[in-house]
Amino acid sequence: QKEVEQNSGPLSVPEGAIASLNCTYSDRGSQSFFWYRQYSGKSPELIMFIYSNGDKEDGRFTAQLNKASQYVSLLIRDSQPSDSATYLCAVNGGTSGTYKYIFGTGTRLKVLA
Amino acid sequence: DTEVTQTPKHLVMGMTNKKSLKCEQHMGHRAMYWYKQKAKKPPELMFVYSYEKLSINESVPSRFSPECPNSSLLNLHLHALQPEDSALYLCASSQDAALGLRGADTQYFGPGTRLTVL
């Protein structure tokens, strides 16, 4: 079983729609959860981090964390073609310690104009 | 400001060359990281420095040699690399993951160095 799982996609959504990206993790001791966006050939860019159960909103982005079910999701409202990228979920603070992120393999999002 | 800078942007080297990658941050972060990323894969941790001391080495071959001259700088010295070492090399920094403070383990990535080994 992979430690952090993401659907590799591509996830295709029309412009203006809500894109929903999901991530599950296996280490119940995980403390912090991150979403990064990575354009092809570029470095990961932090979108959001979340530590507590519930929702956290930042502009068009909402992160949702459910520790009991061990999943974290990212919603992108009013999706734009510029949101087309790979979205990496990263989990930290479990048995691997506080310095070693466990990354998912990423979900490729395509927003269709 | 959450900027991490890396130089050079691109590097082409032969298998007998010696080269160095450089990373710099001025956010006062005390943890710095080197990652290697191959196409369509997530970043793979190589080294972690905390308070200028090497705290994690993920069994990286000795042809990669990290160095942390001060709290703002991180180098990666390369020697006798193989073609399979060609990848995007990413530097990241965080405030101090061991503090246990929320947000202190958030890693900010630099733009990366695209390395090609011939």
Q: Which two tokens stand for residue B118?
A: 């011939």
Residues of chain B with pLDDT > 90, as a percent, come to 90
Q: What is the mean pLDDT of residues B68-75?
A: 96
3-state secondary structure of A46: strand
Strand partners, A75: A20, A62
Chain A closest-CA separation from residue B97 CA (Å):
6
Tell if the CB–CB gap between A99 and B55 is shorter than 8 Å: yes
Q: Which residues contact B64 (CB under 8 A, 6 or more apart)?
A: B46, B47, B76, B77, B78, B85
pLDDT of residue B97: 72
What is the maximum alpha-carbon separation in chain B? 44
Q: B105 vs A36: CB contact, 8 Å cut-off?
A: no
- What average pLDDT is seen over chain B? 94
Q: How does pLDDT run across A82-109, given as a tens digit for each residue? A: 999 999 999 998 888 888 999 999 999 9
Q: Which phi and psi (to 5°) does residue A101 adopt?
A: -65, 145
Say whether the peptide bond before residue B8 is cis (omega within 30 degrees of 0). yes
